[in-house]
Amino acid sequence: MGLNEVMNFIVEKLKELLLAMENFGGHVLAWFDKVFPPDTRGDKIHHWIHVATPFLIAAAALIVLICFCRCCCGCCKGGGGGRVKMMKAPGRNYRMPRNVFESDPKGYFHNLRTYPGDELC
Residue 77 phi, psi dihedral angles, 5° rounding: -80, 150
**Does 21 have pLDDT greater than 90?**
no
Domain ranges of the chain: 1-35, 38-75, 84-121
Least confident of 7-16, 25-34, 107-116: 107-116
Bridge partners of residue 88, in order along the sequence: 95
Q: Residue 89: left if φ>0, alpha if ψ -120 to 50, beta else—which one?
A: beta
Give the pLDDT of residue 4.
87
Q: pTM for the full model? A: 0.38
pLDDT at 115 over 80: no
What's the Cα-to-Cα distance from 42 to each of 5, 18, 37, 91, rounded to whole Å? 53, 34, 9, 69
39-80 per-position pLDDT tens digit: 988 898 899 899 999 999 999 999 999 888 777 765 545 444
The string of DSSP letters for 34-91 reads HHS-TTTHHHHHHHHHHHHHHHHHHHHHHHHHHHHIIIII-TTSSSTTS---EEEPTT
57 dihedral zone (left: phi>0; alpha: psi -120 to 50; beta): alpha
Q: Which of the given ranges, 5-9, 25-29, 77-81, 117-121, has the highest pLDDT on average?
A: 5-9
> How far is 22 from 16, CA to CA, in rounded Å?
10
CB 8: neighbour CB atoms within 10 A?
A: 11
Question: How do residues 24-44 score in pLDDT, each as one tens digit?
Answer: 878 888 888 898 888 988 898
For 98, other C-beta atoms within 10 Å of its C-beta total 12
